[in-house]
Structure 1
Amino acid sequence: MLENLYKQIVMDHYKNPRNKGKLEGEGSIQFPYKNPTCGDVMVLYMTVDDNQKIKDVKFEGEGCSISMASCSMMTDLVKGKTFEEAQRLIGLFNGMIKNGELPEDEDELGDALALSGIHKLRARHNCSLLGWNGLERAMKQHAH
């Protein structure tokens, strides 16, 4: 039953992605990222304030339902968060996908919790991590 609900959440994010599109204008960051194992691609767009808070975030991309749904979930979760808060979410998501660890407060990952079953599918780990890895690299690049 729960697995069915999770599938519906993933498909909803795939078919109706949140924050899809470009951010243009002064101060916007554009960061392309490609999954080397399957060729899924995305471009992350962010505007960040002086306190390293993600004011807005969007993405464009092409890939499987898991990678695109995960990008959608990630942008929803990190909008309005500081780099530090976003980094914590990246850590929680990585722990869930790579080690099967569910966060103590499951609400923290929101809809991204629907991807918890991916832990058992090693071949799909990189799909689910596409947007999160891209975000982490974009933040590191911007922080310097």
Structure 2
Amino acid sequence: MLDDLYRKIVMDHAKYKRNFGTLNEEGVIHEIPYKNPTCGDVMVLYLREGDSGIEELSFEGEGCSISMASCSMMTELLKNHTVEECRYKRQAFERLIRNGELEDEVDLGDAESLQGVHKLRARHNCALMPWQAFDKWLKEQGHE
């Protein structure tokens, strides 16, 4: 029953992508292109950082249901959080995908529905694609 609910959440995000498109907001918009090295899924992450952290995120891209759902979920999850909070969520999400570990103290929202991906090793990079784009931005901005 829970697997069925999770599948529905993933498919909903894949079909009705949240925060899809470019950011038309004022201010400096970071544009981070990323290509999944294992399957060819592609995305561009758009991000605006403000004084208190990540203010806006959006994305454009093409790929499988898992990668597109993960992009949609990540942009919802990180918006209006500090960079440190985002890094913490990013680490928790990687543990979820790599090991299937769901941590009680970290709220991953709808992204928790991707927990079953840990059993599909070939799909790990699909789920991690937007998070790896976020890592690229962290490194470029000196937030590592």
- Normalization by structure 2: what TM-score? 0.94
Aligned-CA RMSD value: 1.3
1:89 corresponds to which residue?
Answer: 89
CA distance in 2, matches of 1:140, 1:78: 17
Partner AA of 2:140 in structure 1:
Q
CA distance in 1, matches of 2:75, 2:66: 14
Aligned-partner SS, 2:108: helix
Once the 2 structures are TM-superposed, how far is the Cα of residue 48 of structure 1 from its aligned partner?
Answer: 0.5
Aligned-partner SS, 1:31: strand
Once the 2 structures are TM-superposed, how far is the Cα of residue 49 of structure 1 from its aligned partner?
Answer: 1.0
Aligned residues: 142
Q: What pairs up with 1:1-144 in 2 under 5 angstroms?
A: 1-24=1-24, 25-51=26-52, 53-105=53-105, 108-143=107-142
CA distance in 2, matches of 1:31, 1:112: 21
Q: Where do 4+ consecutive residues of structure 1 move more than 3 Å?
A: none
Q: Which deviates the most, 95-104 or 60-69?
A: 95-104
Once the 2 structures are TM-superposed, how far is the Cα of residue 104 of structure 1 from its aligned partner?
Answer: 1.6
Normalized per residue, the structure richer in helix is 1
Identity %: 54
Aligned-partner SS, 1:61: strand
Unaligned regions of 5+ residues in structure 2, if any? none
Superimposed CA distance per residue, residues 8-45 of structure 1 (whole angstroms, 9 cap, x where no aligned partner) = 00000001011001014541100001101000010000
Aligned-partner SS, 2:70: helix
Partner AA of 1:73 in structure 2:
M
- Normalization by structure 1: what TM-score? 0.94
